Chains A and B, each alone.
Chain A
């Protein structure tokens, strides 16, 4: 009896054990293989853009870090039906041999994720995701050439990704002759589609040239002629400094992690060494507000205490984070960028002082180009940028778009119905620089709606809007003046005719005398330089008189 029972028990092992046999670690690479849309590779057209974008972003970041004026060439070649080869080559510092496979063929590998500093790339997914996508769609390896100095040879790799282990597979590795002294060349074959338009590679590169006036891009599209976006400024943006996180931006999980790994031996020294803007005094104050002793060992801080610490931080007044971690483009350069890529008649720009959201410093810049060759009867063209990278997708979900819609453009001479994108010959640029740009998704296409950010964007738009408004008004005034002068030219023959009938004088004689008067300076002044206020007054008078006439008529 007991035996049978034991046997049964043995047979009926909990199902969980059975399930456990199938449970195993999922590699990041494998995860993204199945969820490619999370990285922006959701369709063929976008895939082409993403591959170019990731490679160019990396090139520009590398050049700037090495203080080299970037010169990037982009070439797209159609190699088959929906198959394209993307070649991006830069004059950057190059990559040391042993890092090449990891950088290009290992997901989540990079130098930027762990630092708080303004950069284009952040997560270290970008370029390796493109390599992974290429491997999935064409089975081809990425071909990388890189050289760090003329004293060293150029290294050439053909790389793939082992998706199971998220590790590079090296298909070929050699040193090659390369004319460039330093730089990197990436060649990827992928399934893609080349379509022009607002979300195309062409548009992306043009906008990149707008927001990075110090960059030269040589672009060979699959069809048509080579395009050169020449640089318009010879100064590199200032090199952003790395900063520690500001206490206001810290979240519980991050705090617990930091507490576990810190080398500090007291809570007070942990706070001062791991965070920016926290000195011993502020650290003590935080502890006091959290009711935790400053000399507690960080490793002994419990989850409850950590939570109290967060509350303590919120109660403590801490000065805003330093802003030298940011490298805004600056109003003047932003305007230069606009001038060189957009043919308009009026440009203006502004750069806001740094502000802070959740402990992260950021700067909003805005620019406007008006008139000229910009289409008149269309919606305003919105160019959104985050850390000097154009945002082409998800316009509707972006805080920048929202802020534009909520700004009253009628006041600045544009047409607008309700809270919508204004109409008129205008290009509106918004740029956010931050150590941590809050995107709504990993494909980095839309800025999240933080009140502090929206407020800054609106202020920047208003500053530009006012300049635009005064230009538009001036322009209208001048065209009205011309219209007025024309009006008198049309009136003169009529007046001459009437006066001739009344006085029996020759019409020709009166006509000529009147035309002569038209060019006299005091008359010119009278008819042309009428203030708007007078005009309004006149119209009001006229309206009143008409009303009166109607009233009299019963």
Chain B
């Protein structure tokens, strides 16, 4: 067993032993851990990140309201322990299927929906103070990276500059990779895979001496960790390129300040130095993109209202200005709208110009 796996195993054992002691003493077995709900999420003005407050929750077995969740928590703990014991990893989906079965002579399933096992895993992170990855549970791989970087992963040396059109696909657990050489001035993280492919084809990272990273949609934990390492340990600024819409803003918000759901992981997840490069409301005017506006739906407006009300955006005048302009437009814009100026417009003009002028939101 590798050294780093000792802590999670120990934690899981302690967790189990404590409950066995409860049972032996005739006490209702009880798990206590930080309350993972909106009411216990606090925004720390100093560190500019979301974190969990002091409230805790109890989960007891002999309680009709708790029993099922208690069972689910123990089930995923068992799965994790088994994985650690044999040194294997499983995805969230795998864990769901490992837990999903019907109790004998009943119609009760331990889990009916993946959201239940996912939730139990997040609870387990809090209980054991170990990340999902440390518990040998991974999310699906969902991102690519390219740039002048050489790393070592599981004994293999990998050069991010020499991996063809697909780039290096980022694993969900990046804790064990080692950076051998990093030649770049900054990192651009983009929401859209298609935009990444455009920039990769244009060899943007080579011309501009940078690293380009993408995931599909919401940033996965592996990518967030990777970006954090590049930022913390290699001093590279991180720029975010997302659609001009509330959801694009939210991707930036999660990356920078942490998410409500993973408030307990904020310490290792947030990127306080991330900057929002575009697409901004000003881009729409400056680059004459208004004709590509997509009209707002009701949900867009609701989401925009929510985001503009977040503590960390409330006092930020630049952001409030963006929110107001978006609201006035009553419309959103996709990154790809830039392609209307020419297929290489984004890589040859838009991005270099914005980075040179330092046109970004903090």
Interface code B28-61, partner A: CB below 8 Å = 1, 0 otherwise? 1100000001100000000000000000000001
Query: Which residue of chain A has the shortest Cβ distance to B74 in the bound complex?
Result: A498
Contact between chains at A545 and B119 (CB < 8 Å): yes
- Quick check: is B77 within 8 A (CB to CB) of the other chain? yes
Shortest beta-carbon distance from A174 to chain B in Å: 76
Q: Within residues 5 to 63 of chain A, which ones have a CB less than 8 A from any CB in chain B?
A: none
Q: Are A527 and B64 in contact (CB under 8 A)?
A: yes
Whether the Cβ atoms of A503 and B16 lie closer than 8 Å is yes
Q: Which of A486, A488, A554 contacts B62 (CB 8 A)?
A: A488
Bitwise interface map of A from 471 to 497 toward B, beta carbon under 8 Å scored 1, else 0: 000000000000010111011001101
From the candidates B20, B26, B29, name the one contacting A520 in the complex (CB within 8 A).
B26
Contact in complex: B261, A497 (CB < 8 Å): no
B26 touches A495 (CB 8 A): no
Which residues of the other chain, A, contact B71 by a CB distance below 8 angstroms?
A: 491, 494-495
Q: Is B294 among interface residues, defined by CB-CB distance under 8 A?
A: no
Q: Which partner residue on chain A sits nearest B68 by CB separation?
A: A491
Chain B residues whose CB sits within 8 angstroms of the CB of A377 once the complex forms: none
A361 to B15 CA separation, bound complex (whole angstroms): 76
Give the nearest-CB partner of A516 in chain B.
B26
Are A502 and B78 interface neighbours, CB within 8 A? Answer: yes
Q: Which 9 A-B pairs have the closest CB atoms?
A: A502-B16, A503-B16, A498-B74, A538-B65, A552-B261, A498-B78, A554-B218, A490-B103, A503-B17
| B28 and A526 contact, CB distance less than 8 A | yes
CB neighbours (8 Å) of B118 from chain A are 549
Shortest CB-to-CB span from A7 to chain B, Å, is 99
Min CB distance A497 to B, Å, is 7
A84 to B256, CA, bound (A): 94
B260 within 8 A of A: yes
Is A225 positioned at the interface, with any CB of B under 8 Å from its CB? no
Can you name 26 A-B pairs with beta carbons within 8 Å? A486-B106, A488-B62, A490-B103, A490-B108, A491-B71, A491-B103, A494-B71, A494-B75, A494-B103, A501-B78, A501-B82, A502-B13, A502-B19, A503-B20, A510-B23, A514-B23, A517-B26, A526-B28, A527-B67, A534-B65, A546-B115, A548-B260, A549-B118, A552-B260, A552-B261, A554-B217
> Are A490 and B106 neighbours in the complex by a CB distance under 8 Å?
yes
Query: Contact between A554 and B247 (Cβ–Cβ < 8 Å)?
Result: yes
Q: How far apart sit A527 and B261, CA to CA, in the bound complex (Å)? A: 30
Contact A488 B67 (CB under 8 A): yes
A513 at the interface (CB under 8 A from B): yes
A99: Cβ under 8 A from any B Cβ = no
Known pairs A488-B67, A494-B75; A549 contacts B119 (CB<8 A): yes
Q: Name which residue of chain A comes closest to B15, CB basis.
A: A502
* Chain B residues whose CB sits within 8 angstroms of the CB of A487 once the complex forms: 67, 106, 108
Complex contacts, B13 vs chain A, CB 8 Å? 502-504
**Chain B residues near A (Cβ < 8 Å):** 12-13, 15-17, 19-20, 23-24, 26, 28-29, 37-38, 61-65, 67-68, 70-71, 74-75, 77-78, 81-82, 103-106, 108, 110, 115, 118-119, 217-218, 247, 250-251, 259-261
Asked whether any CB of chain B lies closer than 8 Å to the CB of A227, the reply is no
In addition to A494-B71, A534-B64, A535-B65, 17 A-B residue pairs with Cβ atoms within 8 Å of each other are A491-B61, A491-B103, A494-B74, A495-B71, A498-B78, A502-B74, A513-B24, A516-B26, A523-B28, A526-B28, A530-B64, A535-B64, A545-B119, A552-B261, A554-B217, A554-B218, A554-B251
Residues of A529-554 whose CB lies within 8 A of B: 530, 534-535, 537-538, 545-546, 548-550, 552-554
How long is the Cα–Cα vector from A497 to B77 in the complex, in angstroms? 11
Complex Cα distance A505/B14, Å? 12
**Residue picked from A484, A518, A552, most chain B C-beta under 10 Å:** A552
**Contact residues in A for B28 (Cβ distance below 8 Å):** 517, 523, 526
Bound-complex Cα distance A502 to B119 (A): 19
Contact call B259/A552, Cβ cutoff below 8 A: yes
What residues of B have a CB within 8 angstroms of the CB of A503 in the complex? 13, 16-17, 19-20
In the complex, whether A499 has a CB less than 8 A from a CB of chain B is yes
Contact A495 B12, CB 8 Å, known A502-B77, A548-B261: no
**Cα A548 to Cα B39 with chains together (Å):** 12
| Residues of chain A with a CB closer than 8 A to B119's CB | 545, 549
In the assembled complex, the Cα of A523 lies from the Cα of B63 at a distance in Å of 8
Complex interface: chain B residues within 8 A of A518 (CB)? 62
Q: Report the minimum CB–CB distance from B216 to chain A (whole Å).
A: 10
Q: How far is the CA of A490 from the CA of B110 in the complex (A)?
A: 11
Given the complex, which residues of A lie within 8 Å of B67, measured CB to CB? 487-488, 491, 527
**What distance in Å separates the Cβ of B185 from its nearest Cβ neighbour in chain A?**
30
- Smallest CB–CB gap between B33 and chain A, Å? 15
Checking B62, B105, B250 against A527 with a beta-carbon cut-off of 8 angstroms, the contacting residue is: B62
Q: Which residues of B contact A498 (CB under 8 A)?
A: 16, 74-75, 77-78
Cα A133 to Cα B108 in complex, Å, equals: 65
Within 8 A of B (CB), among A177-225: none
- Chain B residues lying within 8 Å of A505, measured Cβ to Cβ, are 16-17, 20
Query: Does A523 contact B65, Cβ atoms closer than 8 Å?
Result: no
Most interface-central of A502, A534, A548, A553 (chain B CB within 10 A) = A502
Instruction: A554 to B26: give the CA distance in the assembly, Å.
Output: 44
Contact across chains for A502 and B250 when beta carbons are under 8 A apart:
no
Interface string of A269-286 (1 = CB under 8 A from B): 000000000000000000
Inter-chain contact A517/B23, CB cutoff 8 Å:
yes
Query: Which residues of chain B are within 8 angstroms of A484 by Cβ–Cβ distance?
Result: 64
CA distance A495 to B61 in the complex (A): 9
Q: How far does the Cβ of A502 sit from chain B's closest Cβ, in whole Å?
A: 3
Question: Does B250 contact A554, Cβ atoms closer than 8 Å?
Answer: yes
Q: Which of A501, A518, A545 has the most CB of B within 10 A?
A: A501
Asked if residues B62 and A490 are in contact (CB atoms below 8 Å), the reply is no
By beta carbon, the residue of chain B nearest A518 is B62
> Which residues from A are CB-within-8-Å of B250?
554
Query: Please, what's the 1-or-0 string for A222-254, where 1 marks a CB less than 8 Å from any CB in chain B?
Result: 000000000000000000000000000000000
Residues of A within 8 A of B61 (CB): 491, 495, 514
Q: Is B19's CB under 8 angstroms from A499's CB?
A: yes
List of B residues within 8 angstroms of A546 by Cβ: 115
Please measure, in the bound complex, the distance between the C-alpha atom of A537 and the C-alpha atom of B63, giving whole angstroms: 14
CA distance A545 to B260 in the complex (A): 12
**Is there an interface contact between A502 and B81, defined as CB atoms closer than 8 Å?**
yes
From B115, which residue of chain A is reached at the shortest CB distance?
Answer: A549
Compute how far the CA of A389 lies from the CA of B81 in the bound complex, rounded to whole angstroms.
75
* CB nearest to B36 among chain A residues: A545
User: Which of B19, B62, B217 is in CB contact (< 8 Å) with A523?
Assistant: B62
Closest CB in chain A relative to B154 CB, distance in Å: 27
In the complex formed, the residue of A with least CB distance to B71 is A491
Residues of A within 8 A of B81 (CB): 501-502
Q: How far is the CB of A526 from chain B (nearest CB, A)?
A: 5
Q: Is the CB of B103 within 8 A of A527?
A: no
Contact of B65 among A490, A530, A549 (CB under 8 A): A530
For B62, what are the chain A residues with a Cβ–Cβ distance below 8 Å? 488, 517-518, 523, 526-527
* Complex interface bits, A327-367 against B, C-beta within 8 A gives 1, otherwise 0: 00000000000000000000000000000000000000000
Q: What chain B residues lie within 8 Å of A513 (beta carbons)? A: 23-24, 26
Nearest A residue to B106 by beta-carbon distance? A490
Q: A392-432 CB contact bits vs B (8 Å, 1 = yes)?
A: 00000000000000000000000000000000000000000
Bound Cα distance A514, B115 (Å): 28
Q: How far is the CA of A491 from the CA of B104 in the complex (A)?
A: 10
**In whole Å, how far is A521's beta carbon from the nearest beta carbon of chain B?**
12
- The distance in angstroms between the C-alpha atoms of A526 and B259, with both chains bound, is 35
Contacts of B104 in A (CB 8 A): 490
CA distance A495 to B60 in the complex (A): 12
Smallest CB gap from A513: residue in B: B23
B304–chain A nearest beta-carbon distance, Å? 14
Report the separation of the CA atoms of residues A488 and B118 in the bound assembly, to the nearest whole angstrom: 23
Residues of A with C-beta under 8 A to B82? 501
